[in-house]
Structure 1
Amino acid sequence: MKESRKFNKGITYAVVWLAGTCAPSSVNAQQGYDIVGDQVVVEGEQHWVNWKRPGHLTAIDASGAVRPRELRQVYNVLDDRSFERPVEIDKKAPRIATVDSTLRLDVLGNPLQDVSKNFIYDYIVRPGVSRVGSNPHLAPNILDDDPTTFWEPNPDDPIGDWWIEVHLGRVVPLERLRLQFVDEQLGDPFLKFLLFFEKKQLPLVRDDSKLRFSIFAPFDGVNKDQRIFAFDSERTSGLLPADVSGLMAKRLPMGNADPNWTGRLVEVIRITITDTRGARSEQITQEAWEALPEGERGDVVYFVRDVAGREEPVDEATYEVLGPDRQGRRVY
């Protein structure tokens, strides 16, 4: 059976909130404070109500303190493709695909130059596919919300290149990650894959950036038929859509985040395929495989074992030079 390993789209949900500040009013200001000795004291609702403040962004609580008013909502981070964030770039090193540049102009529309007569550019980073290891021309398809388009790695590329990264444009509190594969008539889902998350406060704009990912194994074993996966963070706001298909029991860990915080902080998501059906049509025992005529034998997949006991496929030559403690299983 031919496997297409086609990935359709991903959806991320995050919670955002806004906070405001207060400033004293120049009108009736004396009603907004008390003079106590050499101090100006502002406390309680009877004072704060006389101050000018952005009422839609602040509220006076039961104790009389001014608190930021939380405007909470969940939304698909990747729906708003118009979001952009300015970044500083001072080197000509290759940049990730989600960085755009525009020529800086003066008030008359003339290009600005620095002291060395080099044109000056402004740079922004936006959400989208930032890097990909295989078939880059298909990569934008995973975000177009079209169930008939997809990204799939080139089967002729080494499996080490079967990965794709999505940059969210900024750090967000991710409450739900949803992955959807194409329908059965278009191909098979990834047999095995891993998710990697990077939280970074500084823009990651270089194509050769070395990211410090944390790993998330979405399931044990292999996946042959599930086409929708949804993962919630360990703590959520309660505002996520309830009628979601493919919701998994396994949740995105939040580490040592504040107990009142919801959502896992994420800026970059990498999806890495770690195994494939390839030319295999059915897994059998070694004895059954050896008993078949040579022309009917399928592939043998070799696995290397790391110190944590996880296994990843390697070619036969690499497998044969590994020590016994590093040689994993062989699948026929």
Structure 2
Amino acid sequence: MKPFLLWGVALALVSLPDLCVAQTGNAYRVVGNSIRVTRASEWNSWIFQNDLVSSLNVPVSEADVVRVETDGLRPVLFHREINVAPTSGDFLYPDVVRSAGDPTFGGASVKSNTRRASNVIDDDLSTYWEPDTPTSFASRLGDPGDFHIDGIRNWELEIDLGRLVFADSVTIIFPAGQFEDEYLGQPVKSLALFASMGERFPFPLGNNLRFSLVGQRASGFTPGTGAGGKGDGLVATPGTEGRYLQMNFPLEPLDRADWDLDGLADITGGFIQYVRVKIIASDLWRHAYLGAGEEGLIAFEALPTAQRGALVYQRRTAGDLLVELQGDGELNAEQRYESLPEEKRGPILYYVKEVPRISEVKVWARGNNYAYQPERRAGASFEHGGLGAPQLATDGVYDTEWAANTWSPVYVKGTAWYDLGATFWVDNISVVNKRINQSHLGAFLGPDIRVSDGTLLKPLNMETLEDFTQLEDGLRWDNIISEEHVDNHTPVVRVFQEDFPMRKIRFLQLRDIDITGQRSGRYGSLATLAEIQLYGEGYPTSISAYSPPISLT
């Protein structure tokens, strides 16, 4: 479904003199009797204006609902089920947990072979990450890198998505070994996948992130057999003709999501910002035995260089037993072997080396979050009473929150309004409350979420954020909270969703309501809303761009 778009362009003419002389401005050119806008640099000077609040506007170049291209403006089409990992480096957020709010970009980081970190999120399967590995078995003595038993602890990747998203699954893609005449690498032997929303560890004031185990798997991969052993979850990657294999890890909520108290989460998927892949086992230089003596050497030399593994040197004992030689402080194993009399030298054993590589890590989000930083498109938020900061529930950070005091009609507090800045086609609202150790543990007593497409019930005159209070009576609102989610006293759910038929939404009104009335309006009785996110697909229902004032004098 791709709902249609209404697209508008408005010119602001200031005066109308003789138009015989060509004139220019940052946003236009006047040539003869025409006004021309044909360059990207000119469109970038146009304005994306909030059509209700006169003080809210941003340059078109900053609005995330339009793209400036060489041939003009183009509206953005929003999709479902998108891989959000490749764009993680585009997002900047305050890391309030680990660096006291320092601005931080998302992206990929690793503990070994850092120059290849970005390869796992570049959306290109031909690139890959692998641990820091010596060029040969012999060179490991001078430069072992991390390709040894103690170095495996550094075989760890972390992807910071740059913002909190609601994701359904994580897919890890590996090369499938030998493909035709090319050796691509192979899946890792065993790994564990962890995820984090950005919650503090230790709770509640720690400066590290709390990660939860999503799954642990062994690939069971054997060279030349394609996918691994039974039950390992390693399958061929669609569209790659067997060149790549993948594991898929379904996600579950990382906090309480059980309304009916049956011990199971009521939804699939979960909020995450960080993904960590920890490789926990490897065969290193002895992935598979090739052979001994001359026969083994021939097979060894036929291997691609990357697959050439250990050479095991043996000494014959007086009883004609074979003992593996080890290096000592003065000589390595090969040198000790060469120093032996010929009759004491046993056959050399040859091994295939493991070549563990990860081609891509994909994080499958529900879609584009329409509520993420609405200020980017001249949207905004406001709380009646000014006790909280509602913009912190749409900033993409779990550890910042809107503190929603329990609402009461008697007091001026506890209502937040959001203007998304544009009207979107939406069929899902996802909510996560930040866990705290007081009040109702951060959860809503009763979430009250109302939505509007902007249909007016009476005229509005809005100039500043304080005028958002006019929205309550000035717009037509619909309650989207389902009956089973009205009372959260006992379940204490902090992660939930509301699904509904596709509808147009631009405005939100949020409250925490105690249906018993016992805590209504009480100070200190609050929900901590970490994030509210909206998902759907299609174009925004209407977009308008405005020129700066055009002088024709």
* Length-normalised TM-score, structure 1: 0.43
Higher alpha-carbon Rg: 2
Q: Larger % of strand: which?
A: 2
Q: Output the TM-score relative to the length of structure 2.
A: 0.28
